[in-house]
Structure 1
Amino acid sequence: MPPTVAPTPSISRPAVAAFALVALALIPFLLPGRDALGRSLPVSFGLGAAFGLVLQRARFCFWCIFRDWFAERDPRGLLGILVALAVGAIGYALVFGAWVPNPGVGRLPPDAHVGPVSITLAVGALVFGLGMAISGSCVSAHFYRLGEGAFGSIIALAGAFCGFILGFLSWNTLYLADLYRAPVIWLPGWLGHGGSLALTLGVLSLLALLLLRRPLPDAPVALTGLEALRLRWPAVLGGALVGWIAVLAYFRVAPLGVTAELGSNARTFANALGWLPETLHGLDSFAGCVTVVKETILSRNGVFVIAMVLASAASATLAGDWKPEWPKLRTLPRLFLGGVMLGWGAMVGLGCTVGVLLSGIMAGAASG
């Protein structure tokens, strides 16, 4: 019988948990009440913390979910995404009904991620998807995995920063070749709020029925006490919570998105060095995870992302998922290249799997 090796105790875990919890408790009181646009920064921080907690506990990682389906035909993660979209679509429809009672007049809902439908969007989505596979996560998952100690995500996010700069440099070419004529299609404007919601829920239901043709894996044995706290949340529960967080975020602050801060910092950096053209045609007129040249440090998306990472760290350490790991030298090029592809795809597509796919489909945007 092989000898049993006692696991090495993690000295840093209590310290990380304490730091994350204290930061989550104190930062909302230290933030300014509003950003430059009058949006509540403490509310954005709280929503980011809730989002990070749910992503970490439910393993709501788009690449992981699709990999589970392709490799093992496990439909649970995909069902969680469909539930998130359904819950969010219902909530958005309720908000839209009050804010834009007559969608046929050509007015789009304020701030909603209703972007242009274009070849550029499709190419950006393809490159973003390849970047997920190469780097091992989408942008939102790289943020929450930082809270689990996956420090290789720092390299991927650095690559995404560079990818955003490459996206800005290629923007004018893409705009003049394709984007200037791309239609912005908002389904409620064509079908009404009820028709758009019915179409969205109908398609999501059909996809769910197709997925449910595969047998679901056995549920884990019920546990009690601390062991139960360490169990991952069911994907469907995670999806429902993500949907409601998305509705609350849109109602109180802005649509869900995780790349605006990263992209804005990349734009500010490149602009300060004189790398960017004087005009980025039409960029600031499109909806989505838009980027700006930053004049202040704090932004609603910035505090949202900070809270995501802190909440993920608190959750991971308390549940025993904190496993600090530095990337091996041979993996650095792969992580960086995947990150570059994530950043370029998110820039030209005006968002990532959260900002375009989730927030877009919930809003009835054909671009989603």
Structure 2
Amino acid sequence: MPSISTFIALAWLAVLPVAGHALAPLPGGRTLAFALAAGTVLGLLLQRTRFCFYCHARDWFEGGNPRGLLAVVLALAVGLVGHTVIVGSWVAVPQPGQLPPDLHIGPVSWVLVLAGLAFGAGMVVSGSCISAHWYRLAEGSPASPFALAGVAGGFVLGFISWNPLYSLAVADAPVVWLPAHLGHGGALALQLGVLAAIAAWLWRGFASESSPAGPAKPRHVPSLAQVWRGLWQGRWPCWVGGLGVGLVVALAIVRMRPLGVTTTLGSAARAGAQSQGWVPERLNGLDGFAGCATLPGSHWLTPHALLLAGIVSGAFIGALASRQWRWVRPTVRDAARGLGGGLLLGWGAMTGLGCTVGTLLSGISAGALSGWVFAAAMFLAVWAGLRIKRSLHLTD
């Protein structure tokens, strides 16, 4: 018999098509409705598969379990193939100096490396990446509200430091789109080769260390009730998250801009800080960059805002239906690690022009060198941060 929480989840799910229908007649309404639907699917996938860059990295660095990071590799591979097919139809013959509009292709400099290191450190301190904090918010996480508030503060710190950093390194930094130098086929082959090498490295020795399979169990066709219960027990396999996230990343560029989860929060932080005079009115070069750059004077009825609403809604549906929603009274430690880690996440996302979804997933899928640099710096910081936490006997 379905639980009360399952009925609430189904009722909430029924509201979303009504909201999409209400959005459709508005200017750009179809894109808004698509963003809400895509966000809902993404939120459900993130929650049910525990798709979190930090959690997956921690599973590997501390326990030797590569399944989560292999799901990230799968998401990147699917997104990369999808972007190559779609963008290849838009820009048939890429040329050096020519960039497709809106794709998350950013400048590569030491500022980007510093941004990735700060973001990785923020994940270790707060316990999640920004996208995971959005879905964990819908699970009742005690630290995530403080972390997201800290992210807004980190964006403000990033805006304050942006103009000096832009003059020092960003203004003259190269913006490298790999297909412009290798062609679509060459860039795809190179990046898939790197992903295959990473997958092989992650998997090395793991299969041989796994316990041998026992006697084969007799199979039977499950009933519909068993299938339904199976959807909401435990978590879905990691590969489902990788495949699903990669498909959403690829399909998003057909109806809206590439995926990103920081534009809305960053834009709100920018508007509020500028109204108080904390941030310069002119942020040199920022609004000319693609990626999750903030938008001055933006409002809440945008594709990225609806995407976030969908992510939280989808995660809430998944958490309720699986009985994984649980409100926990936050402690002082929750608030401190959330705010402290959020500040690092926000500063890294602002100066890196995105987070694990915008700069890393969407960037690498687009063939941007900036995505690879950000990823390398971020995972290095997570590895170092986990070692420091272990030496200090700290836990999440």
Using the size of structure 2 for normalisation, the TM-score is: 0.85
**Identity over aligned pairs, percent:** 47
User: Partner letter of residue 362 of structure 1?
Assistant: S
- The aligned residue for residue 31 of structure 1 is 23
Does the alignment pair 1:21 with 2:13? yes
Corresponding residue of 1:291: 294
Match runs of 1:82-231 below 5 Å = 82-104=73-95, 106-216=97-207, 224-229=226-231, 230-231=233-234
C-alpha contact 1:164 1:266 (8 A) present in aligned 2: yes
1:333–1:210 CA distance, 2 compared to 1 (3 A): same
Of 250-259 and 287-296, the range deviating more from structure 2: 287-296
C-alpha contact 1:163 1:343 (8 A) present in aligned 2: yes
User: Is the alpha carbon distance of 1:266 and 1:324 closer, same or farther for their aligned partners in structure 2, counting shifts above 3 Å?
Assistant: same
- Kept in 2, the 8 Å contact 1:35–1:300? The answer is no
The separation in 1 between residues aligned to 2:206 and 2:131, in whole angstroms, is 29
Amino acid paired to 2:250: V
Quick check: 103-112 or 67-76, which moved more?
103-112
Alignment of 1:216-365 (within 5 A): 216=207, 224-229=226-231, 230-365=233-368
How far did 1:19 drift? 5.7
Letter of the structure 2 residue corresponding to residue 133 of structure 1: V
What does the per-residue CA deviation read over 1:101-146, in whole Å, with 9 as the maximum and x for residues that have no partner?
Answer: 0102532112110100011110011001000000000000000111
Q: Give how far 1:17 is off.
A: 2.4
Q: Give the letter aligned to residue 263 of structure 1.
A: G
Which whole-Å CA distance do the structure 1 matches of 2:282 and 2:87 have between them? 33
The alignment of Structure 1 onto Structure 2 pairs a total of residues equal to: 357
Contact 1:44 1:300 in 2 (8 A): yes
SS at match of 2:369: coil
Deviating more after overlay: 329-338 vs 188-197:
329-338
The farther-off stretch of 239-248 and 294-303 is 294-303
Between the aligned partners of 1:96 and 1:132, the Cα distance in structure 2 is 32
Normalising by structure 1, report the TM-score. Answer: 0.92
Check the 8 A contact 1:24/1:311 in 2, yes or no: no
CA deviation after TM superposition for structure 1 residue 13, in Å? 3.7
Relative to 1, partners in 2 of residues 1:358 and 1:33: Cα closer, same or farther, differing over 3 Å? farther
Gaps of 5+ in 2: 372-396
- Counterparts of 1:62 and 1:201, CA distance in 2: 19
Aligned-residue offset at 1:325 = 1.7
Q: Which runs of 4+ in 1 moved over 6 A?
A: none
Counterpart of 2:327 in 1: which secondary structure? coil
Residues 267, 298 of structure 2: 8 Å contact kept: no
Indicate the RMSD between aligned Cα atoms, in angstroms: 2.2
